[in-house]
Amino acid sequence: MTRVLFLGTPTSAVPTLKRLVTEYDVVGVVTRPDRPRGRSNRPQPSPVKQAAEELHLPVVSLRDGIAELRPEVAVVVAYGVIIKPETLEAIPHGFLNVHFSLLPRWRGATPIEHALLAGDEVTGVTIIRLDEGLDTGPIVAQRAVPIGEEDDASTLTASLADLGAGLLVETLPAHLAGTLAPRPQDDASATYAPRLPDSVFDLDPERPAFELWRTVRAATTRRGASIDLDGQRVKIWRARVGDCDAEPGQVIAVEDGIAIGTASGCLVPVEVQAPGRKRMPVAAWLRGLRKTPTVARRPTLD
């Protein structure tokens, strides 16, 4: 049975790890160090480390994994560390990476969020053989899926994680046999998905409603998209675009909720979260306020 070394960190990498252990000899798992999380701020293991421990797989450093476990191939899913060129050549069948976009579109750390922010109608998964560049390696396999209007970063991450796991185990036998012909990426058509600062998810009513709706959908794996409503920093977790006659920043009452005027159209919150509260339907939040909130407007700079 082929010896596989697995590299990954977040929850989205776990489906591929679990699929691999059913068909291959996963000899070790490499993941990022424990990091402080939650209110306690105590170091917590990554989701991949937790899964490895549940599967009774050794968690090792990359150097020790290669030197001591002698893997024949490595599989990488959202590991979060650039691998040195000399390391890439240290395993007979190289490193295969499962990336959550249709490369060369959205190379980088946050392809799903960037696809939603850009209004892409299609995304997918790509398996590449890693080289020294940032997601620049030759394409081994690729599969596309449509992005639905109800999709957000959370649902897309989950579906692409499952799709990538299936495509990887489907593709790996031919890769190991040397019967695949990887194709180079078209660098001229590449786009990039760098890490996004939290400020990207601040909702500015001076922007069009459809852009704010995309932002809400892209923020669900982060801390949510935020707007100042009635003196509170309120998170909007779900929303839709509506037609209304309102100025940017003006809040009007609509059936079962509110609509926020924007540069074009209105953003209609569906699920919100006030500070210190749980996520709830907007109607439940409004019942607690007992009035229509207002948007805190930014001062005009001369």
Asked whether the beta carbons of 279 and 271 are under 8 A apart, the reply is: yes
Residue type, 266: C
Confidence of residue 255 (pLDDT cuts 50, 70, 90): confident
**Who has greater pLDDT, 256 or 133?**
133
**The pLDDT of residue 124:** 98
Partner residues linked to 107 by β-bridges = 192
How far lies 241's CA from each of 17, 161, 218, 237, in Å?
Answer: 38, 28, 15, 14
Domains and CATH numbers, the chain: 3-189 (3.40.50.170), 198-289 (3.10.25.10)
Residue type, 147: I
pLDDT tens for each residue of 133-178: 999 999 999 999 999 999 999 999 999 999 999 999 999 999 999 9
d(CA 230, CA 197): 25
How far lies 91's CA from each of 70, 75, 159, 278, in Å?
Answer: 8, 11, 30, 48
**The pLDDT of residue 290:** 64
Pairing of strands 95-99, 25-30: unpaired
d(CA 164, CA 56): 23
Asked whether the beta carbons of 209 and 265 are under 8 A apart, the reply is: yes
pLDDT at 298 over 80: no
pLDDT tens for each residue of 181-202: 999 999 999 999 999 999 999 9
**The pLDDT of residue 42:** 82
Strands (E), 102-203: 122-129, 139-146
Asked whether the beta carbons of 100 and 79 are under 8 A apart, the reply is: no
pLDDT tens for each residue of 74-89: 999 999 999 999 999 9
pLDDT tens for each residue of 35-75: 877 666 788 999 999 999 999 999 999 999 999 999 999 99
Q: What's the chain's average pLDDT?
A: 93
